[in-house]
Chain A
Amino acid sequence: MPLKDALPTQGRFSQWRPNWVILTLGLAMLAAVWGLPTVSVAANRIVSGTGYPVWQALSWGGGALASLIILAMMVLASHPERTRLSYVAQFAAMVLLLLLMPFGLMAASHWLVDASQPQARLGIGPAYWVVMFLALLGLIELRLRLSLARGWMALLLIGIGAVWLGCAALWLDSLALVQEFQVREAQFYQAIRQHLALVTIAVSVSIVLGMGIALLMRRFYRLQRGGFALLNFFQTVPSLALFGLLLAPLAWLSANVPFAAQLGIKGIGWTPALIALIIYSLLPIVRNTYVALEAVSPDVLDAATGMGMRTSQRFWQVRVPLALPILLEGVRITMVQAIGLTAVAALIGAGGLGAFIFQGLGQAAMDMVLLGALPILVMALAADAGIGALAAQLRRGAAYD
C-alpha cells in the first residue's frame, strides 16, 4: 500500500463515499429515459419509423415508474453505509426494471400501433437499448460488489431473457423483430443450425489438429518458430481477405479435379468458410496447448518420475490434467472467435446467421440485421461464460486434489 493511503484522511465529507458507479449509471439511465426516443413506429418494413418520447410511448405514469425505480437505486447507492442488504436492494431494482421493460413495449404497442394495419410495426427505440445496456452494466457492477457466483448471474439472465421471449411470443406481435422472425421462422432455425455446425466442426477439427501441431512442436524444436510465425501471419490476414483468397484455388480445384467436385468442394459455400475458420482457430489452440504443457512445474514431473511413472503415464496422468485449464482457455478464445467469423462467412455463401445480417443490410431492413446479430451475440457470450465456468471448475478441482 502506498504510504499516502495509510495517512488518516481529513475533511467533513470524507465519510460520505457513495457508490459513484451506480450513481453515474443511474443518471445516464434517467437521461436516456427522458432524452431519447423510447420506441419507433413504422408503417411497413422498409420506411424508417417515427420516434416517440417516453411520455407518449409509456404515458407519464410509465416514465414516472421507470424513473422511480432508477431513483430508488440511486438513493440506496448514495447511502453512506455500503451494506450487503443495500446492494441486494439495488440489484433487485435493476432486475425489476429489466423485467418490466417488455411490458412497457406492450403498452406502447397498444397505444401507438394501429391494429387495423397489419404492416405497422413497433421498433425498440434508442432509450430502450441504452437503458438495457446500462442496467446490464449495473448488474455486473453489483454482482462484483456482492461477489455473487457466476452461475447465479447466468441463471438470472436466462430468467430475464425467458420473460422477454415469453412476452415477445405471446403478446408482442407488432414488434418489428418478432415480425421479421415470424416471416422466416424455418430459415432462422436452419441458420442457427448451420452456424453451430460450422463453428463446432471448425473448432473440433482445429482442437485435434492444433494439439497435434503443439505436440510436434514440443518434439521438434525447429518447427516451433516457423510454426508460430506462420500461424501469427494467418491471424493477421483479415477474415474477409482470407475468405476471398480461398475462393480462387478452391474454385479451380472443383473445376479441374472431379473427385473434389464429388466431395462437394466448391469455391463458394461451406468449404472455404470451414478452411478459413480452421486456419484462424489453430493459433489460439496451438499456442495455449504449448504454453499449458510447458507451464507444468518440473518439480511435479520430477515427483511423478520419483513415484515410478513411465513417460507416457507422466504425460497423460500428470501433464495433461494440470494443463487442462489453460488448454480450455484456448478453446474458449477459439470458440468465441469462430462464432464471430462464421458471420462473415455468410458473404461467401456459407449460410449461418450472418446471412440475415448481410441480407438485412442489403435491403435496409434493420430489424432483420438485429435478427442475425442478437443471436450471434448471445451465442458468443454463452460460449464464453460456459467454457469459462468449466475452466474455473477444473481449476478448483485441481486446487482441492
Chain B
Amino acid sequence: MSRKPQPSLSTYHPAQLLVPVIWVVLLALAVVAMPATEAVFRWLAPDARQVIYQRADFITLLGRHLFVVGVAALFTVSVGLLAGVAVTRQWGRDFLPLATQVASMGQTFPPVAVLALAVPALGFGTLPIIVALVLYGLLPIVRNTIAGLKDVDLATISSARGMGMTDGQILRQVELPLAAPVILAGVRTSITINIATAALGSTVGASNLGDPIIAGIINTNMAYVVQGALVIALLALSVDSFFEVLQRRLRSHTA
C-alpha cells in the first residue's frame, strides 16, 4: 500500500486567515442582506404571511447571541484556567483527582439537561442561560488545562528551576506557553458548544438567534427556520475557523 506523505497539519500560512474571514463576511452578508432576500424565502414558504423574521432584526439577535456567549466565555476561560492551574500546584494537589474526574464526567451531561436544570433554580430569562453556559463550558477548559499542564515535561520544569526561575515565572514563562495549544483546544470546544447551546436559550425566554428557529417550528414557517439556522451555522463556523487558525499558529510557534 503506497501512501503519499501526509502534509503536516501544524504548518501555518497567512493565507489560512482567509477561511475565517470568508465565513465572517458571509455571516455579515447574511445578517445585513436578509430582508433583501424575500424572493428566495417566498419560494421556501409560499403560504406564509411573512417570510422574513420581523420580530427583531438579525443584527440585534446576533448581538444578543454574542453577548450571552461572550459573557459566559469570559467567566469560563478565567475561572477554568484558574481552577486548572490551582489543582496542579503543590498546595492544590489534594483537589486534582476530584477535579480530573468531575471534568471528564461532566462531559457526559447533555447541554440541554444542564439548561433545563438551571431554569428551575434561576427562573426564565438571560441569567439561567448564562449560568448554564458557564457551568457547561467550564469543564472542557478545566480538563484541557489540567491535561496540558500535566503533559509538561518535569525535566523542563526542573531545568527552569535550576536556572533560578521562581514558581510564578515557571508557570507564566514555561508551563502555560507549553500547555497553550491543549488549553486553546479546550477553549475552542467550550465556545463552539456554547454557541449551539445558547440557541436553546430562546426556549427559556432569552431572545437570541434561536428565536427564528423556534418561531418557525411553532408556526411551521420553513423560511424562519432556515434563516435562524443559517445565521447560527455561519456564526459557529466563523468562530470555529478562527480558532483553527489560532491553533495552527500556536503549534507552528511551539514546533
Are A376 and B112 CB-contacts (below 8 A) given A20-B94, A347-B203?
A: yes
CB neighbours of B213 from chain A (8 A): 240-241, 244
Contact check, A241 vs B108: say whether CB atoms are below 8 A apart.
no
If A238-B195, A241-B233 touch, whether A248 touches B94 (CB-CB below 8 Å) is no
Closest to B111 in A: A340
CB distance from A270 to the nearest CB of B (A): 15
In the assembled complex, the CB of A346 is this many whole angstroms from the nearest CB of chain B, namely 9
Q: Which B residues touch A3, using CB under 8 A?
A: 158, 161
Residues of B within 8 A of A372 (CB): 116
B36 is an interface residue with CB less than 8 A from chain A: no
A-side contacts of B154, CB under 8 Å? 1-2
Contact partner of B102 among A19, A140, A369, CB < 8 A?
A: A140
**Total contacts A to B, CB within 8 angstroms?**
149
Residues in chain B near residue A221, CB distance under 8 A: 3-4
Q: Are A336 and B108 in contact (CB under 8 A)?
A: yes
- Report whether B236 and A237 are in contact in the complex, using a CB–CB cutoff of 8 Å: yes
B192 contacts the other chain (Cβ, under 8 Å)?
A: yes
* 0 or 1 for each of A163-196: is its CB under 8 Å from B? (1 = yes): 0000000000000000000000000000000000
Say whether B95 contacts A144, CB under 8 Å: no
Q: Are A137 and B102 in contact, with the CB atoms below 8 A? A: yes
Segment at the interface with A among B26-34, B52-60, B221-229, B247-255: B221-229
Q: A354-B112, A377-B110 are in contact. Are A245 and B226 (CB under 8 A)?
A: yes
A285 sits at the interface (CB 8 A): no
On whether the beta carbons of A238 and B216 are closer than 8 Å, the reply is: no
Contact between A370 and B117, CB atoms less than 8 A apart: yes
* B-contact 0/1 string along A114-128, CB 8 Å cutoff: 000000000000100
Q: Is the interface of B mostly helix, strand, loop or mixed?
A: helix
Which residues of A (356-393) have their CB < 8 Å from a CB of B? 357-358, 360-362, 364, 366-367, 369-370, 372-373, 376-377, 380-381, 383-384
Confirm or deny: B119 has a beta carbon within 8 angstroms of a beta carbon on chain A: yes
Provide the B94-120 mask, 1 if CB < 8 A to any CB of A, else 0: 110110011001011111110011011
Kindly state whether residue B140 has any CB partner on chain A within 8 Å. Answer: no
- CB-CB under 8 A from A241, the residues of chain B are 196, 199, 213, 228-230, 232-233, 236
Q: In residues 41-97 of chain B, which contact A (Cβ within 8 Å)?
A: 44, 90, 94-95, 97
CA gap between A351 and B94 in the complex, in Å = 44
Give chain B interface residues in 103-142, CB to chain A under 8 Å: 105, 107-113, 116-117, 119-121, 124
- Interface residues in chain B, defined as those with a beta carbon under 8 Å from any beta carbon in chain A: 3-4, 44, 90, 94-95, 97-98, 101-102, 105, 107-113, 116-117, 119-121, 124, 154, 157-158, 161, 192, 195-197, 199-200, 203-204, 210, 213-214, 216-217, 220, 222, 225-226, 228-230, 232-233, 236-237, 240
Q: List 30 A-B contacts (CB under 8 A).
A: A1-B154, A5-B90, A126-B121, A140-B98, A140-B105, A141-B98, A233-B237, A238-B196, A238-B197, A241-B229, A241-B230, A241-B236, A242-B229, A242-B233, A244-B216, A244-B226, A244-B229, A245-B226, A247-B222, A247-B225, A267-B222, A268-B217, A343-B113, A348-B217, A358-B203, A367-B120, A369-B120, A370-B116, A373-B112, A384-B105
Given A2-B157, A367-B120, 6 more A-B residue pairs with CB atoms under 8 Å apart are A140-B98, A140-B105, A241-B233, A244-B228, A248-B225, A268-B220
Closest 7 CB pairs of A and B: A340-B110, A238-B196, A366-B120, A241-B229, A244-B229, A373-B116, A244-B225
